[in-house]
Amino acid sequence: MFFRDKVRGDARYLSDGSAIKGHARYVILPNDETELREGIRYANKGNTKVTIAGNRTGGRGGAVPSGGDIMSMEYLRGVVGVGKDSNGIFVRALACTPISTFNDMVANSKMDVISKPFEEDYTSMRFPVKVSPSSTVGGCIAVNRSDIRDHVRSIRVVFSDGTFTTIRRGEFFADGRNMVLVAGRNYFSFNLPSYTSDGVVGPKIGDGMDLIDLFIGSEGLFGIITEADIYVSEDVAEGITNESGKMENYQIKERYGQEAVDDIIRIKSILDPNYILNVGNLI
């Protein structure tokens, strides 16, 4: 059973790195994904808006609630294991794992092997892009921090009705602009936005696109990332981040126009039909 507690007026859940202060009724504190799914189903049933929050290190107010409940991911942290495929060595981590913890686990812990055993020494490898040590794995993916996109092997996503799916890079592609997505008992078929995006602002959009790129950089518009596989590297790359939120609103409209916003809202209405995921203001 998930834990839901009343938010006090001075609660730390009401602000993030932007110092904007919001308001909310309750905070949901799941200990694992099962409790998270229970909490999100409860909110969905009552049509209660939910703001997803991790370590609240973002500087644009994206984790600041504007009413409703807060889904705090703070207990969904830790490294699950390590694996290897044809693209390199990857580490599986829960969404609210801080980057400092991620790197410490890689360097100092004997992690379980996810795929078949391999002999390579990965302990000198690190999180592949330059970010704050207190940033989280899920947060970096949600805002495509330092252009992490190509380093993300897979993500596990929970939708607003509590169903979930794992999306692996290279596994599902759009047929032109038509995308098919299966999540639990749900089957979604929808047309992608008509605009084309390089993914610097919001999701990366284009013909024949990889499904995973709809979620990377979308700032939680469509679902909650609970786990991810990240390719580790000897070199740490540095890139730009165009994070949205209450201090920097409506970036998709400014860059691509109102039609692009309407397209994103249309897809959100399919994947989050009650529109309960209350996220940063990309749109």
pLDDT at position 245: 67
pLDDT tens for each residue of 72-104: 999 999 999 999 999 999 999 999 999 999 999
- Sheet containing 88-94: which strands, arranged edge to edge? 79-85, 88-94, 224-231, 152-158, 164-168
pLDDT at position 39: 95
Q: Please give the Cα distance from 247 to 12 (Å, whole number).
A: 19
Question: How do 164-168 and 224-231 pair as beta strands?
Answer: unpaired
pLDDT at position 281: 65
Are 141 and 248 spatial neighbours (Cβ–Cβ below 8 Å)?
no
pTM over 0.95: no
Neighbouring residues of 108: CB distance < 8 A, sequence distance ≥ 6: 123
Task: List the domains of the chain with CATH numbers.
Answer: 4-72 (3.30.43.10), 79-271 (3.30.465.10)
Q: Please give the Cα distance from 214 to 59 (Å, whole number).
A: 23
Are 160 and 167 spatial neighbours (Cβ–Cβ below 8 Å)?
no
Are 215 and 153 spatial neighbours (Cβ–Cβ below 8 Å)?
no
Neighbouring residues of 22: CB distance < 8 A, sequence distance ≥ 6: 14, 15, 51, 61, 64, 65, 66
Helix (H, G, I), strand (E, B) or coil at 239: coil
Count of beta carbons in the 10 Å neighbourhood of residue 9: 7
pLDDT at position 215: 96
Count of beta carbons in the 10 Å neighbourhood of residue 253: 17
Q: What is the DSSP track for 2-44? A: --EEEPPTT-GGGB-TT--B-B-SEEE--SSHHHHHHHHHHHH
pLDDT at position 248: 63
pLDDT at position 2: 77
Report, as ranges of residue numbers, the positions in the chain whose pLDDT lies below 70. 245-249, 279-283
